[in-house]
Structure 1
Amino acid sequence: MRRRVIIVTAVHPPSAPFLPDAYKSLCQQELPDGWEWHWLIQEDGRTDEVAPYVPADERITFRQGRPGGPGVARTMALAHAEGEYVKVLDADDQLPEGALARDLRALEDDPSIGWATSRVLDLLHDGTTVGFDGDPAGGAIERGDVLDFWKANGFRAQVHPATLFVRRGLLLALGGWMALPASEDTGLLLALNATSRGWFSPEVGLLYRKWAGQMTSHAAHTDAGEREARMAIVEARARELGSLGWAYPAMGTP
């Protein structure tokens, strides 16, 4: 019986033309024997503008739903996620060769690890890439480390939530992505860090496309009042989870 890694992608019409590039990067991934990937593409809305860009491949499932933002779209996709692991891939991003296998190996080799992240390079419009200093050392990330760093560094985590690879059961237990207009992936990352150990790979695991239409470039994303509220609820959730004492793996499991 083959085992599955589920790739979850939220998409809206402006980002749909990048889906073929994301698909190409998925097709370049090699997984260990006995493993396969399945790509769940969830449109944030119901239009006729996304489907033409969805590749024809039996390993891809495309669905639509009421608009609610990328966090809602990804969480709705989980209803159809039949696999042990979930990998986030935004519609406009790409996976370098080997990224999926590294993530999988990190969690398969250590049952105490609940999630994995990796180094990111910005992918510019001319095809060049830009990296950044300040990545953590490769290896395990202990509970609470991401929250502490995020709080001390202007609400910027030392690992990127767009690179997340996570155990499906843990993701479901935390309710998926936060119900926020933005920063929903940061909210999930901090909740994961509050309840489980993580992993960071210093090898490049994501090409993060920079373009004018991406949601993080919109003025609303940096509105001071909204940002303050988002950060407050993200922090409060993580701290409450940490105070409850619940952790993955549960007591008595490996």
Structure 2
Amino acid sequence: MAAVSRVISVITPVHWPSVGYLAGAYESLAGQELPDGWDWQWLVQEDGQDGLLIDQLPELDPRISPGSGRPGGPGVARTLALSRVEGELVKVLDADDQLTPGALARDINTLTDNPGVGWTTSRVLDLLADGSTRDWGDDPPEGPLNTGAILAFWQANDYGLPVHPATLCMRTELLLALGGWMALPASEDTGLLLAANAISPGWFIAEPGLLYRKWPGQMTNQATHREPAEHTARMRVVEARAHAIRALLT
């Protein structure tokens, strides 16, 4: 077996409603088969300091790195976890979601084979309460996503996205250069996706890479997520950031 010399760091923020799904997220991660010479690191970050992770994680897996910090939402939790990243790639995995078989290998191979690409996303299947799945939306074809293409689509489609930010895998240097996730109560992953696409092309992987759980407790299912004034403010700052990055590069 080849010695492990390369790491993909998987970041999972946790708040109390989602902690019960952590075991499923871990199982989907532990079952990943990676290319020779690669391994994963799992950075599980509590959004708060209430001890949610006690007795929730396998104790004997040295690849797991738990952490906690003052509550600030998933974007803050993910960005705090960046302090422990050891990998050259960072993959997002929310606590209530699950990776599909081969998801990490497809991310790794795509970014290894395409050095000019800074990030990947993949097809998503919604995971329903009865265990069935359905397509998340209309996906683009497999292949490159040109710089600025996501912002253009987002503006033309009432803040809709052609790809799902919950599937992001990004080169660590790019993620750090962008400052991690936006300091927003929601849409922080959309902000990161648009910022990354403002500076670098991406790649869409047509094979499903994520089971995106649909359940009443998820944050995007709460009424506050669509409160008009805050939603407008979030969309404006996300858009302004992407435009500002593009302007600095032209």
* TM-score between both structures, scaled by the size of structure 2: 0.96
- Which whole-Å CA distance do the structure 2 matches of 1:98 and 1:5 have between them? 13
Deviations, residues 165-197 of structure 1 (Å, cap 9, x unaligned): 000000000000000010000000000000000
The counterpart of 2:69, out of the listed 59, 62, 65, is: 65
Match runs of 1:42-191 below 5 Å: 42-56=45-59, 57-191=61-195
SS at match of 2:51: coil
- The answer to whether structure 1 residue 35 and structure 2 residue 38 are counterparts is yes
- Which whole-Å CA distance do the structure 1 matches of 2:137 and 2:126 have between them? 13
Deviations, residues 142-163 of structure 1 (Å, cap 9, x unaligned): 0010000011111011000000
**Runs (5+) with no aligned partner, structure 2:** none
SS at match of 2:216: coil
- Which whole-Å CA distance do the structure 1 matches of 2:175 and 2:129 have between them? 33
**Runs (5+) with no aligned partner, structure 1:** 247-254
Structure 1 residue 51, shift from structure 2 partner: 2.1
Counterpart in the other structure of 2:241: 237
- Which whole-Å CA distance do the structure 2 matches of 1:69 and 1:227 have between them? 16
> Structure 1 pair 48/231, CA: closer, same or farther in 2 (3 Å)?
same
Q: Which moved more, 1:123-132 or 1:90-99?
A: 123-132
How many residue pairs align between the two structures?
246
SS at match of 1:236: helix
- Which whole-Å CA distance do the structure 2 matches of 1:63 and 1:211 have between them? 25
Post-superposition, which runs of at least 4 consecutive aligned residues in structure 1 deviate over 3 A? Answer: none
- Quick one: which amino acid aligns to residue 199 of structure 1? W
SS at match of 2:207: strand
Counterpart in the other structure of 1:251: none
- The answer to whether structure 1 residue 217 and structure 2 residue 221 are counterparts is yes
- Which whole-Å CA distance do the structure 2 matches of 1:132 and 1:39 have between them? 26
* TM-score between both structures, scaled by the size of structure 1: 0.95
- Which whole-Å CA distance do the structure 2 matches of 1:76 and 1:163 have between them? 19
Identical counterparts, % of pairs:
59
Q: CA RMSD in A?
A: 1.0
- Which whole-Å CA distance do the structure 2 matches of 1:150 and 1:221 have between them? 18
- Which whole-Å CA distance do the structure 1 matches of 2:89 and 2:136 have between them? 28
Structure 1 residue 133, shift from structure 2 partner: 4.3
